[in-house]
Chains A and B, each alone.
Chain A
Amino acid sequence: MTERKHDISLGDLVRAFGSLKPSDKASGRAIAQMLGFDLKEAEAVLPQAKDETVRKPSPPPSSRTREKEASELPVIKPEFVPVAASLEPAKEETFRPLVYISHRVREALSRVVLNAIQLRLFEDGFDVLLDNSRLQAGAVGFEQMKSWLELCHGVVIIFSESALNSPQVLSEVNDIMQRRASDKDLIVVPVLLPPVTRAVLEARGVPLPETNLLHAGAGETALSIAIKVSQALMPLLVSEEHWKPDTSPLPPLVVKDSNVPLPFEPLLVPNWTRAMMSAALSTSGGEGIPDIERIVESLARKEHLKRLPMRPFPTLSQGVQVLIDMSQSMIPYARDQAWLQTEVQKVVGYEKAQVLRFMGTPLRGSGVGERSSWTAYQPPAAGTPVLLLSDLGICQFTPSEDWTSASEWLSFAEVVNRAGCTLVAFVPYAPSRWPRNLARSMVLVQWDRPTTIATVRSLLRLGRER
Chain B
Amino acid sequence: MAYKKIFNPQSATSQKRLRNIRAATLRAEAKPQKLAAQGGDRRDGLVYVYTDEIVLAVNVALATGRPLLIRGPSGSGKSSLARNVALCLNWQYYEEVITSRTQARDLQWRFDTLRRLNDATINQLKDPAFYVEPGVLWWAFDPASAKRRGQSEMIARERALTEPGDGMGNSRAGVVVLLDEIDKADPDVPNNLLVALGSLQFTIDEINVEVKKTRPLLVIITSNDERMLPNAFLRRCVIMLLPPPDEERLVNIAKAHFGPRGMRLYRSIASRIIELTKAAGPTGQSTLSAAEYLDTVRACIELKVEPDSDESGWQAISTATLVKPREPLGI
Contacts and interface: CB of A to CB of B under 8 A. Distances in A.
Interface in B209-255: 226-228, 230, 234-240
Interface residues of A, number: 41
A34 B3 contact: no
A413 interface: no
A191 interface: no
A341 interface: no
26 contacts: A7-B236, A8-B64, A8-B235, A15-B63, A16-B60, A18-B63, A21-B3, A22-B1, A27-B1, A31-B56, A34-B57, A34-B60, A35-B64, A274-B187, A299-B121, A308-B114, A308-B117, A313-B103, A315-B100, A316-B186, A316-B187, A317-B101, A347-B228, A349-B227, A350-B226, A350-B227
B226 A31 contact: no
Interface in B259-305: none
Contacts of A30: 1, 53, 56
Interface of B: 1-6, 53, 56-57, 59-60, 62-66, 100-101, 103, 113-114, 117, 121, 183, 186-188, 226-228, 230, 234-240
Given A34-B57, A290-B113, A23 B2 contact: yes
A26 B1 CA distance: 7
A20 to B, nearest CB: 4
Return the 4 tightest CB-CB contacts between A and B, nearest first. Answer: A7-B235, A346-B228, A19-B63, A317-B100
A202 interface: no
Interface of A: 5-8, 12, 15-16, 18-24, 26-27, 30-31, 34-35, 274, 278, 286, 288, 290, 295, 299, 305, 308, 313-317, 346-352
Contact of A22 (B2, B66, B117, B226): B2
A373 to B, nearest CB: 13
B2 A24 contact: yes
Contacts of A290: 113, 117
B186 A19 contact: no
A286 B227 contact: no
Nearest to B2: A23
A68 to B, nearest CB: 27
Contacts of B236: 6-8
Contacts of A21: 3-4
Contact of B59 (A20, A286, A305, A350): A20
A278 B236 CA distance: 22
Contact of A35 (B4, B183, B238): B238
B186 A20 contact: no
Nearest to B1: A27
B100 A20 contact: no
Contacts of A316: 100, 186-187
B31 to A, nearest CB: 38
A278 B187 CA distance: 8
Nearest to B68: A34
B211 to A, nearest CB: 21
Nearest to B52: A30
A288 B56 CA distance: 40
A155 to B, nearest CB: 44
Nearest to B5: A20
Given A15-B64, A308-B113, A350-B226, A20 B187 contact: no
Contacts of A346: 227-228
A20 B239 contact: no
Q: Which of B3, B4, B66, B228 has the most CB of A within 10 A?
A: B3
Contact of A20 (B4, B228, B237, B240): B4
A26 B235 CA distance: 24
Contacts of B188: 278
A27 B60 CA distance: 11
